[in-house]
Amino acid sequence: MNKEEKHDLVLALADQIKEYGNFYITDTADLTVAKVNNIRRQCFEADITMQVAKNSLIKKAMEAAGGDFAPMFDVLKGSSSILFSKSATAPAKLIKALRKKGDKPVLKAAYIDSAIFIGDNQLDTLTKLKSKEQLIGEIVGLLQSPAKNVISALQSGGNILAGVVKTLQERG
């Protein structure tokens, strides 16, 4: 790979980092070509983009994309693959499913909406993450719940309230 091809790859990776907002760095070293092709096929089916690149190029792409990726630089050793996805949990779920058949790919790090997760021990946490839309929906539901309770109490007790108001008016 010549210097121009490396530069183009760095720019393409930086664009993907910006576009997706979520990416996982995994270790796929020592896997056979058949296993890597199987992983690529499953990534394609799950709408995940897989890219294998040298660690130095990945680091340059992160620097070119902007943001604070410095904590992730230490994991860029050995063979690295990057998984890009719009879904924050899809790559983690795929990795977990693949690990049922073998010990790779190993999660080195993940970047999810500006949060950084380092180490393979974070895989379970990443599979349980909720999207921004899910969290907003839960918050809206929680905020609506008290208002609904007050309205239903007022509606169900309307006769009682009317009676109390009428009694108070008659006293006055």
Give the 3-state DSSP-derived string for the chain, with helices as H, strands as E and coil as C: CCHHHHHHHHHHHHHHHHHHCEEEEEECCCCCHHHHHHHHHHHHHCCCEEEEECHHHHHHHHHHHCCCCHHHHHHCCCCEEEEECCCCCHHHHHHHHHHCCCCCCEEEEEEECCEEEECHHHHHHHHCCCCHHHHHHHHHHHHHHHHHHHHHHHHHCHHHHHHHHHHHHHHC
Q: What is the pLDDT of residues 104-161, one digit of tens each?
A: 889 999 998 888 899 888 888 888 877 777 778 878 877 777 767 666 666 665 566 6
Q: What is the pLDDT of residues 5-60, one digit of tens each?
A: 888 899 999 999 888 888 999 998 888 888 888 899 999 999 999 988 899 999 99
Do 114 and 167 share a structural domain?
A: no
Do 106 and 53 share a structural domain?
A: yes
Check pLDDT > 90 for residue 102. Answer: no
What confidence score (pLDDT) does residue 153 get?
62
Do 85 and 46 share a structural domain?
A: yes
Residue 137 domain boundaries: 132-171
What confidence score (pLDDT) does residue 48 get?
92
Do 155 and 112 share a structural domain?
A: no
Do 24 and 39 share a structural domain?
A: yes
Number of domains in the chain: 2
Do 141 and 82 share a structural domain?
A: no
Do 148 and 69 share a structural domain?
A: no
What confidence score (pLDDT) does residue 59 get?
92
What confidence score (pLDDT) does residue 164 get?
67
At 76, which CATH number? Answer: 3.30.70.1730
